[in-house]
Structure 1
Amino acid sequence: MSIKNLGVLLAVIMIVAMMVIPLPTILLDILLIINLSISIMILLITMNTKEPLDFSIFPALLLLTTLFRLALNVSSTRTILSTAKAGAVIETFGNFVIGGNMVVGFIVFLILVIVQFIVITKGSERVAEVAARFTLDAMPGKQMSIDADLNTGMINDQEARLRRSKVEREADFYGSMDGASKFVKGDAIAGIIILIINIIGGFIIGMTMHGMDFSQAINTFTLLSVGDGLVSQIPALLISTATGIMVTRAASEGNLGDDLTKQMSAYPSLLYIVAGCIALLGVVTPIGIFLTWGIAGLLAFAAYNIQNKRTKQEEAIESTQTEQELDEVRKPENVFALLREDPIEFEFGIGLIMLADVNQGGDLLDRVVAIRRQIALDLGLVVPVIRIRDNIQLHHNQYVIKIKGNEVAKGEILLDHFLMLNPSDEEHGIEGMETVEPTFGLPALWITEEKKDEAEVFGYTVIDPSSIVSTHLSETIRKFAHEILGREETTQLINHVKESQPSLVEELIPNILSVGDVQKVLQKLLKENVSIRSLTSIFEALADYSVYTKNPDILTEYVRQALARQLTSQYVRNGVVHAIQVGAGIEKKLADSISRTEQGDILTIDPESSNQMIHSFTQKIEQMSQLGIRPIILTSAGIRMYVRQMMERALADTPILSYNELEPNVEVQSVGVVNL
C-alpha cells in the first residue's frame, strides 16, 4: 500500500479516535485551524473546477470533512464541559463575535446557522436532487448520440469508450451528490443541538462542579459554546457553499487516496492564497502568529514544492513530446498516412449542413445507422463507417458519394423544397422547378411545401430532402457493395461464422481456399445483388466443390445453385416468375466461343454477334417494362455466367438466372425467347 493511501486511512481512523480520546487544547487549536484551511481550499477548488469530474471525489470528501468537523465538536465539547476552557481559537472566536454582549453573540450565531441551514444547504440539496434525476434521464440520449457519432466515423472506438465512461461517471457523481448533500443538512442540525447542549450542560456543570456562580457560569459557557459553534459553522458554511457551486455547474475511477492527493493538489497556486488567509488571520485576530504563521508557512512550502515538481514534469513531457514529434516527422513511413482512404464518404456543400446537424433537426446520422442495419439484413454485408463531412469546394446544395476515394454518385437538393416524381406524359398543373431524381434518374419537380398536399391529392409521390439523400446513399452502397467488401471485411465475416461453425471454417480456410478466394466469390454474388447473409450455406457449397476447382467463376455458380431457395424468394412472386428465355442458338454460339486458357475460360465472341444479342435482349426488356413487367433472363446452368459476362455492362440491373437456381415448384411464364 502506498504512503498516500496509508496516510488517508490513518487520518480517517484518527478522526474517529478524536471522538473518544481527549485532546490537548494546543492540538485542538491546530486541528481547528486545519479544518478551516481545508474548507477554504475546497471552496476555492470548486470555484476553479471546469467540470464536475475534475473534482469527482467531492461527495466522499464532503463526508470526511463533515465527520472531521463533528469529531472536533465532540472534542471541544468535552474540553469545554470538563475544564471550562477550549483553547485560544475557540475563545478568540467567542470574544470576537460576542464582543462583551452574550445576547448579541448568540443571535449572530443563530443567524449564521439559519442562513446555512435554510438558504445554502436547502438549496444545494434541491439542486443536487434535480441534477441527479435529470442526469439519469439524459443517459439514454447521450448514449445514442455517442453511438451515432461512432457509426458515422466522427469518433473512433477509443473516443466512444471514453465518452461512455464519462456519461456513466457523471450519473454516478450526481447520484452521490444527491446523497452527500444530506450530510451538510444533518451537520447544520447537529451544530444547533450541540450549541444548546454546551450552554445548558455547561451552565449546570459550571455551577455544580466548578463552583461558579450563575453569572460566571452563563458568561463562561455561552462564550465558549458560541466560539465553538462559530469555529465549526464557518467551515461548514464554506463547505455548504462549495456543495452548491459543484452541483449547479460523475464518479471517480481511482481510489480515494490517489484522487484526494491528486485533485486536492491540482491547483498549487491556490495554496498560496490559503496560506495568506491563515497568516492574515494571525495578524488581525488574537489567535497569534505562532500557530497561524506556522501553518501558513507549511501551506506555502507545500505549494512551492508541488508547483516546482509540476513545472519540471511539464518541461520533461514537453521536451519528450517535441523529440517524439521530430522523430515521427523524420520517419519515412509516415508518408503512408497520406495514402489512407475511407471506404465510403459522403460530402456535402455548406448549404446542406442542416441535414447532419442534430441541433437543427437534421436526422442524417440516424438514417445512416438505419441504412447500415438494413443493408446488413438485405445483403449480409457489414458496411464500414461512413465518413460524413462538409466540403466547401462543392456547390452550396450539392452532395457527393465516394467509394474508396473515388466519386461514384452525386446530386443536388433544395432543403426548403420537396421532390415530386413527375411522369413526363401527364399534365398536372403543379408549378415547380424541373429536375431529375438523383437515384434512379426519373423526371421530377422541386415543389414548395404549400404545393405538397396538392401533389399528394393527385397521387404523386412526394419525397423530403433527407429521404432523397438516404435513398441515394443506400442504393449507391448496394450498387458498389462488391467493391466495399475487401479482405479485411471478408475476414470479419469468416470469424463471425467461425463462432458458430468452427469445423466448417477450419476445413475450408485456409486448407482449401484462401481468404482472397472466398472474397472473390462473395464479391461476384454481391455484384449481382445476391445476399451473402447465409454464409453457412455459401461455405458449405464452397467446401463441397472447391476440391474439384478453384476457379471463382465456377465456384460462384455452384454457390448460386446452393442458394436456389433464396434466389427463388428474391425474384418469384406468388409462385410465378416472368422470364425471357435464352434460345438454343445463342447458347450454342456462346458455348462455341469459350476459349480454355491457363487463367480460366474466356468468352471470345465476336463484337457483331455480341451487340446483336444485347440489342435483342434490351429491346425485349423495354417492351416488358412498358407493360409493367420486370422479367428475368433465364438460361441453362452451364452457360449462365457467360451470358452474364456478355450483358454485364448493358443490362447490369437485369437478373440472369439458370434453371438450376429456381425451386422446382416455381411456375415460369415465358414472355419471349431471344435467339439468333
Structure 2
Amino acid sequence: MFGKNRMEYVIKSCSAEDAQALQNLLNEMSMNGWELYSMHEVGDEEESAQLNCIFMREAKPNSSSDGDIINISDFKSQMEKMLSPKLTEYENCLEIQSKIRHEKEQINKIKAELEGEAPASVSRKKLNDKISAGLKELEELRHQLNKATSPDLMYAKLHEEKLAIYLSEELLNYIDTDRDYSGEELVAETVKSRLKITETIGYVIPKVVFKDDENLNTCEFSIKIRGMEVFRAGVCPNYLMFYADELHTEHKIKNSITLEDEITGRKIIWVEKDKTKDFWQKGITPSEYIAKALEYVAVKYVDDLLDYEDIDKYLDVVEKENEFLVENIVPDILTYSDLKYLMTSLIKERVSIKNITYIFEKINDFADEGSKVDILNKIRLSLSRQICKSYVNEDGETISAFEISEKTYSDLVMSCDETEDSLIKIDGTLAEKLANKLMKQAKKLNIYAPKLIVPMEYRQIFFTLLSLYINNITVLAPEEIGCNYKIESLGEI
C-alpha cells in the first residue's frame, strides 16, 4: 500500500550567477519527469555561490535507477538537515549585522559616485534610486535586528514539551508516513496505551510529541518529560521481543539478541519475526515495547506530568456530577497542591481514580481529619477492596507477599528523623539494602513484581523508598487487606 508512493530524489548543481544554466537544468529535468523539490544556495564570500537543486519523482517499479539517484525514504529529512541548517539566534544576529555593514558600505560607495555626477544627469537619478533602495533595505535589516535581539524571543523559549518520545534515524519510519512502511504503527500503539491507562486507572496521559534525535544510538529511543530524559532503551526492527523465562527454549535461537528489560529487569530475547511463526507465545513488537515504556514512564513520573490544568479538567468532571463537592473542598479545605498530592499518590501505585466523583466524596468525608497523608490513608482504606482485588492469587482468597521483620522495621523506623518542616529523613543505605534483599528473595521464587506488607503508618514511606530501586514494587498495609483476604507470607525481609 505504502510502496506505491515511494519517491526517489536526485541532486543537481549549477552556478548561482548563471541564470541561463539554471533555466536549462530546470527544463532538462522537467522533460525527464522530475519536479523541483527545493533549491539551496551554498558557498561563501571566498567561493562562487552554487545552487543545489533537489528534484523528486515517483519511483518507477522494476526500473534501473541512475547512479546519482538516491532511492532511500529518509533522504528528504537528511538532505533538509544538511542543506537547510537552522541558524541559532546568535548566528542569525551575526548574519544580520554583517548584512547591515555590507549595505552601509554599498550606500557609501554610491554616495562617492554621486559626487562626480552632474546635478540633472540620468546617471545621478539612477544612483539616487539605488541609495533610496539601499536605505529601505537598511531599515528592514535594522527592524530584523531589533526583532532578533528582543526579549520576546527569549520568552518564547520558556517552554518544554510535557511528554516527548525521541527516535533514532532508523526508527523514524514508525511514525513518518512519507517513508517506506515498516509494518510498525507506533502512533496507534501509543494511543492504545493511553486509552488502556485511562480505562484501568483513570489517568489521562498527556499528548505525546514525537521527535528525532541524531545523538541516539542505532535503533534506540528515549522518553523525555519536560526536557529531562527519564528512559532510554533499544529495540530491534523486524524482531519480536519475548521474556526469556516464558520462551522455554533449550537452545539459543539463531540471530537472536539477549538483553535486560529496562522496565522489569527481566531477561528478554529479540527473535526475528519469520522465526516466531510456530511459537505459542505472542511476541511484543518494537512499537508495542515503546508504548509499554510510555505507560511505565507516565505512571512512575506522574508528579511531573500532572499539572494544575489537568486538575481543573478532573474538577470539571466532578462539578458536572456534584457541584457541591468542588465548592466545598476547593480552595477552603484543600488547595490544588493538596489535590495533586492525593491524586498522584494514588496513580503512582496504580490505584484507579476513574470514579473521580467517588474519590472526591471520600476526600470531602476525611478533609477535616488531619494531614493530607492521613487523608490519603483513609481514601486507600475506603478503596481497599478495589486495591487488593488487583493482587489476589488465582484462588481468589489469598495475597502472597513478603513481610518486614521486626529488626528491619525497627532499624528503618528508628533511622527516621522528622524535621521541623515535617520532612522525614531516612538513611538511604538502609533502604537500598532492604530493596536488594527483597529482590534477591523474590528472584529465587521467580517473582518480578514483589508485594510487601507494611503497617499503615509507614506504608507510604516504604513505597516511596523502595520504588526508587524496584520498578514493580507493591506495598500494602494489613489494614487494607483486613478481613477481605488471607495473607500468605513468602518470608521476612
TM range (shorter): 0.5 to 0.7
Question: Which residues of 2 match residues 126-137 of structure 1 at below 5 A?
Answer: none
Alignment TM-score, normalising by the size of structure 1: 0.46
Distance 1:608 1:464, change over 3 A: closer
Give the aligned residue type for 1:414. Answer: C
**What is the distance in 1 between the residues matched to 2:252 and 2:434?**
42
How many positions carry a matched residue from both structures?
Answer: 347
DSSP-derived class of the 1:529 partner = coil
**What is the distance in 1 between the residues matched to 2:434 and 2:171?**
45
Report the equivalent of 1:185: none
Shift of 1:564: 1.0
DSSP-derived class of the 1:431 partner = coil
Question: Which residues of 2 match residues 546-557 of structure 1 at below 5 A?
Answer: 546-549=367-370, 551-557=371-377
The structure carrying a bigger helix percent of its residues is 1
Q: Which runs of 5+ in 2 are unaligned?
A: 1-139
Give the aligned residue type for 1:462. Answer: G
| Alignment partner of 1:518 out of 319, 322, 339 | 339
DSSP-derived class of the 2:390 partner = helix
Whether contact under 8 Å (2:264, 2:471) holds in the other structure is: no
**What is the distance in 2 between the residues matched to 1:601 and 1:393?**
39
Residues 256-275 of structure 1, C-alpha deviations (whole Å, 9 max, x = no match): xxxxxxxxxxxxxxxxxxxx
DSSP-derived class of the 2:156 partner = helix
Residues 35-68 of structure 1, C-alpha deviations (whole Å, 9 max, x = no match): xxxxxxxxxxxxxxxxxxxxxxxxxxxxxxxxxx
Report the equivalent of 1:482: 303
Report the equivalent of 1:201: none
Give the superposed CA RMSD. Answer: 3.2
Residues 316-336 of structure 1, C-alpha deviations (whole Å, 9 max, x = no match): xxxxx9999888656524412
Whether contact under 8 Å (1:541, 1:559) holds in the other structure is: yes
Alignment TM-score, normalising by the size of structure 2: 0.62
Higher Rg of the two aligned structures: 1
Report the equivalent of 1:435: 258
Whether contact under 8 Å (2:222, 2:232) holds in the other structure is: yes
Report the equivalent of 1:399: 221
Report the equivalent of 1:655: 474
Report the equivalent of 1:494: 315
Shift of 1:603: 4.8
Whether contact under 8 Å (1:636, 1:659) holds in the other structure is: yes
Report the equivalent of 1:635: 454
Shift of 1:656: 0.8
Whether contact under 8 Å (2:266, 2:448) holds in the other structure is: no
**What is the distance in 2 between the residues matched to 1:420 and 1:580?**
28
**What is the distance in 2 between the residues matched to 1:343 and 1:555?**
29
Distance 1:646 1:634, change over 3 A: same
The structure carrying a bigger strand percent of its residues is 2
Give the aligned residue type for 2:273. Answer: E
Shift of 1:508: 0.5
Is residue 2:182 matched to residue 1:363?
A: no
Whether contact under 8 Å (1:434, 1:443) holds in the other structure is: no
Distance 1:609 1:365, change over 3 A: closer
Question: Which residues of 2 match residues 605-624 of structure 1 at below 5 A?
Answer: 613-624=434-445
DSSP-derived class of the 1:541 partner = helix
| Alignment partner of 1:450 out of 270, 274, 279 | 274
Whether contact under 8 Å (2:242, 2:283) holds in the other structure is: yes
**What is the distance in 2 between the residues matched to 1:534 and 1:399?**
34
Shift of 1:503: 0.5
**What is the distance in 2 between the residues matched to 1:470 and 1:376?**
14
Whether contact under 8 Å (1:485, 1:523) holds in the other structure is: yes
Whether contact under 8 Å (1:403, 1:484) holds in the other structure is: yes
Distance 1:584 1:338, change over 3 A: same
Shift of 1:556: 1.9
Give the aligned residue type for 1:434. Answer: I
Distance 1:594 1:472, change over 3 A: closer
DSSP-derived class of the 2:487 partner = strand
Moved more, 462-471 or 501-510: 462-471
Whether contact under 8 Å (2:311, 2:340) holds in the other structure is: yes
Distance 1:434 1:594, change over 3 A: closer
Shift of 1:343: 0.9
Question: Which residues of 2 match residues 490-639 of structure 1 at below 5 A?
Answer: 490-549=311-370, 551-573=371-393, 574-600=396-422, 602-604=424-426, 613-624=434-445, 626=446, 631-639=450-458
Whether contact under 8 Å (2:264, 2:448) holds in the other structure is: no
Distance 1:375 1:608, change over 3 A: closer
Q: Which runs of 5+ in 1 are unaligned?
A: 1-320
DSSP-derived class of the 1:513 partner = coil
Residues 81-102 of structure 1, C-alpha deviations (whole Å, 9 max, x = no match): xxxxxxxxxxxxxxxxxxxxxx
Of all paired residues, the percent bearing the same amino acid is 22
Is residue 2:231 matched to residue 1:412?
A: no
Whether contact under 8 Å (1:581, 1:633) holds in the other structure is: yes
Shift of 1:670: 2.0
Q: Which has the higher contact order (CA 8 A, sep 6+)?
A: 1
